[in-house]
């Protein structure tokens, strides 16, 4: 409950403060969002499995974001940034859908 409230507070902060993102960081934002979603759904699934661990959650989120950003950065240097972004999105998207399917089984037994 409290983390959900924190999420809402964060959304409100982002919406109202409207922080300016440097242009150099903008290509990494979509990847960071996907990585964050992956961590969030993985955390929710762990809560439902009864094995949630806050340290693992934080570390998985940070490492997801860092590795995804690094892959995109590397791709930009090699001239295949958009392809590698697509790869990251596909892999994390599959993980998100699998986790959501597991959450769905927990919640609706279906």
Partner 1 sequence: MTSGPVGRPDQSMTLINEVMQSPLDPGYAAAADSRLRSGLSPATGHRSPLLVVMAVLIGSLLATSALALRAPETSASKVKAFLVGRIEASRAHDEAQSRLIAGVSREIDIAQTAALSQQNQTGLAAELSRLELAAGTVPVTGPGLVLTLDDAKTEVDPKNPVVDPRAATGPDLGKVMATDLQNIVNGLWQSGAEAISVNGHRLTSRSAIRFAGEAILVGPRPLTRPYVITAIGEPGSLIVDFADSDGGSYLQSLKVNDKIRGDITERDLVVVPGEPALSLEHARPVRSAVTKQTRVPTAATATSPTPQTTETSP
Is the Cβ of residue 60 or residue 71 nearer to partner 1 in the bound state?
Answer: 60
* CA-based nearest residue to 90, from 38, 44, 45: 38
Determine the longest span between alpha carbons in the chain, in angstroms.
Answer: 46
Task: Let me know the angle formed at the C-alpha of 97 by 36 and 24, rounded to the nearest 5 degrees.
Answer: 30
The DSSP call for residue 22 is: P
Judged by CB under 8 A, the residue of 69, 72, 84, 99 near partner 1 is: 99
Nearest approach, Cβ of 79 to partner 1 (angstroms)?
A: 22
Report, in Å, the least distance between residue 90 CB and partner 1: 9
- Please, are residues 41 and 34 in contact by the beta-carbon 8 Å criterion? no
Distance CA 80, CA 17 (A): 34
Residues numbered 18-47 forming contacts with partner 1, rule: CB under 8 A = 18-21, 26, 29-30, 32-33, 36, 39-40, 42, 45-47
Binding site for partner 1 (CB under 8 A): 1-15, 18-21, 26, 29-30, 32-33, 36, 39-40, 42, 45-47, 49-61, 91, 94-95, 98-99, 102
């Amino acid at each position: 409950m409290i983390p959900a409230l924190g999420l809402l507070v964060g959304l409100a902060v982002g919406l109202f403060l409207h922080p300016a993102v440097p242009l150099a960081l903008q290509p990494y934002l979509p990847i960071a969002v996907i990585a964050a979603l992956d961590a969030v759904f993985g955390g929710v699934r762990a809560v439902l499995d009864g094995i949630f661990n806050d340290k693992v959650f934080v570390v998985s989120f940070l490492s997801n974001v860092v590795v995804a950003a690094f892959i995109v950065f590397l791709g930009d240097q090699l001239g295949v940034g958009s392809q590698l972004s697509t790869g990251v999105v596909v892999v994390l998207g599959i993980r998100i859908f699998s986790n959501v399917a597991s959450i769905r089984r927990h919640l609706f037994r279906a």
